[in-house]
């Protein structure tokens, strides 16, 4: 459930009409709903705690939507943060999320990033390879500390909504095999700079079937039991994120309650703290991208293009993953729905949000909302074609605030300099 519903006939975010935001802030603009973020987090948390799981750490995956106001909203509810760069660790800290609720993941952390995370005192560094584990050991030993690490395992299970976001097969770059994990865990427990606290996995994103998750989590449980049988201490099992969301025409994803119940079953009787790294399931349906129709362009061959002021640089998912986003008129449009190709102004044919989409008749100046754009929307945006990053607005009840302003062209140009010889 989300809080983007018609009010007095026009689409609103909570109690604020989207038109009002478009007029005040301009388009394209991302709009997020506090109530939806809060609801998604609490529904997941209540489902997990209700399934009898011991004090789970729910570390929101910052990459899904790293806006400080979003992080603050979730942090206030007790969310931790799953981070994959120093920038994300800094964001989580700046949003008031305590270091002991921050997990630092990622395939290629630099020495400087590892040092920063150690100095900040993060809860856990998820190491993804033997060379990375050695590097963490060395940096921690130099500082006279023992880094709390989890070994990320690649459970060799296929899952995820698109090949580019499936991470759990052995051919993917993420994590180590089960046998390597056992060897590395034992080595880590004897290393001067390491304190292995757990094992971790994340098998993919936009997963709409619980079976591959149950398979991977069962294998992870087996690993914990083997490690413990060898006398090693395993305090935490990090099961990653990945739960899918309804993008309208996709298979219906499992509910948080079904997901939690499955985990409760798989982990029954295992005395361990579970950690989760949900991103999309919390943020996706808590945000929309608002855009304006620039032109309706009818080609003699019969194709009809809806040319918007938003483009692939603002919302990359359709171009990158062939993703479907529901596209809704902000004000109701009467008339028979017809097929449109919905495109942006960027100079690539890939800048197409939808082909042959049945939409009501539109005119230049109309506002449209791309639904489910709160995750991997603004966070994947770029300034391609020298287009300013779309601003972000957070709504709470009948109030809204610009939580990231649109940069001016002067600000964009001021970041660059002519080389001395030019």
Give contact residues for ligand PLP (rule: CB under 6 A): 61, 64, 82, 105, 202, 205, 240-243, 277-281
Residue 294 — left, alpha, or beta (φ > 0 → left; ψ -120 to 50 → alpha)? Answer: alpha
Distance CA 118, CA 133 (A): 13
To ligand PLP, the closest distance from the beta carbon of 177 in angstroms equals: 17
Nearer to ligand PLP, 292 or 317 (CB): 317
To ligand PLP, the closest distance from the beta carbon of 200 in angstroms equals: 8
Active-site residue, 201 included? no
To ligand PLP, the closest distance from the beta carbon of 80 in angstroms equals: 12
Nearer to ligand PLP, 61 or 327 (CB): 61
Nearer to ligand PLP, 202 or 236 (CB): 202
Strands lying side by side in the sheet with 16-17: 4-7, 10-13, 16-17
To ligand PLP, the closest distance from the beta carbon of 169 in angstroms equals: 14
Give the torsion sign (CA, 343, 349, 354, 360): positive
| DSSP string for 53-115 | -SS-EEEEEGGG---HHHHHHHHTTT-EEEESSHHHHHHHHHTT--GGGEEE--S---HHHHH
To ligand PLP, the closest distance from the beta carbon of 143 in angstroms equals: 25
Nearer to ligand PLP, 238 or 351 (CB): 238
Distance CA 102, CA 89 (A): 7
Which of these, 30, 16, 20, lies nearest to 392 by C-alpha position?
30
Nearer to ligand PLP, 190 or 252 (CB): 252
* Three-state secondary structure call for residue 19: helix
To ligand PLP, the closest distance from the beta carbon of 61 in angstroms equals: 3
Catalytic option among 347, 418, 419, 422 = 347
Nearer to ligand PLP, 230 or 322 (CB): 322
Q: How big is the chain, counted in residues? A: 422
Integer CA distances (angstroms), 255 to 2, 24, 250, 252, 264, in order: 14, 36, 14, 9, 14
* Contacts of 298 by beta carbon, 8 Å cutoff, 6+ apart: 304, 305
Q: E strands of 129-254, at which residues? A: 147-152, 194-200, 236-238
Which residues are known to be catalytic?
347
């Amino acid at each position: 459930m989300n809080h983007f519903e018609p009010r007095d006939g026009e689409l609103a975010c909570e109690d604020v009409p989207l038109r009002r935001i478009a007029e005040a802030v301009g388009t394209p603009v991302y709009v997020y709903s506090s109530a939806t973020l809060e609801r998604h987090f609490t529904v997941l948390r209540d489902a997990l705690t209700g399934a009898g799981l011991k004090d789970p750490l729910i570390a929101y995956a910052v990459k899904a939507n790293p806006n400080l106001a979003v992080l603050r909203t979730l942090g206030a509810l007790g969310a931790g943060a799953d981070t994959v760069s120093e920038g994300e660790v800094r964001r989580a800290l700046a949003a008031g999320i305590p270091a002991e609720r921050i997990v630092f993941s990622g395939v290629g952390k630099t020495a400087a990033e590892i040092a920063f995370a150690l100095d900040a005192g993060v809860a856990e560094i998820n190491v993804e390879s033997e060379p990375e584990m050695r590097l963490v050991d060395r940096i921690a030993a130099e500082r006279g500390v023992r880094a709390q690490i989890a070994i990320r395992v690649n459970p060799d299970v296929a899952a995820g909504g698109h090949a580019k976001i499936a991470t759990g097969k052995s051919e993917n770059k993420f994590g180590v095999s089960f046998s390597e994990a056992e060897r590395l865990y034992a080595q880590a427990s004897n290393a001067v700079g390491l304190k292995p606290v757990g094992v971790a996995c994340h098998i993919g994103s936009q997963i709409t079937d619980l079976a591959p998750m149950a398979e991977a989590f069962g294998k992870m449980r087996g690993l914990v039991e083997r490690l413990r049988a060898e006398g090693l201490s395993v305090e935490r099992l990090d099961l990653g994120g990945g739960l899918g969301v309804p993008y309208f025409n996709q298979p219906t994803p499992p509910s948080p309650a079904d997901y939690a119940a499955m985990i409760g079953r798989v982990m029954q009787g295992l005395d361990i703290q579970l950690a989760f790294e949900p991103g999309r399931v919390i943020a996706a349906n808590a945000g929309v991208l608002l855009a304006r129709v620039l032109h309706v362009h009818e080609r003699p061959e019969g194709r009809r293009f809806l040319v918007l002021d938003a483009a692939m640089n603002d919302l990359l998912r359709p171009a990158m993953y062939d993703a479907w986003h529901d596209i809704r008129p902000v004000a109701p449009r009467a008339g028979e729905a017809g097929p449109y190709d919905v495109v942006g102004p960027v100079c690539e044919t890939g800048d197409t949000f939808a082909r042959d989409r049945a939409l009501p008749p539109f005119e230049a100046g109309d506002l449209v909302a791309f639904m489910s754009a709160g995750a991997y929307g603004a966070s994947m945006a770029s300034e391609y074609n020298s287009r300013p990053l779309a601003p972000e607005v957070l709504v709470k009840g009948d109030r809204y605030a610009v939580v990231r302003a649109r940069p001016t062209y002067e600000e964009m140009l001021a970041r660059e300099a002519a080389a001395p010889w030019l």
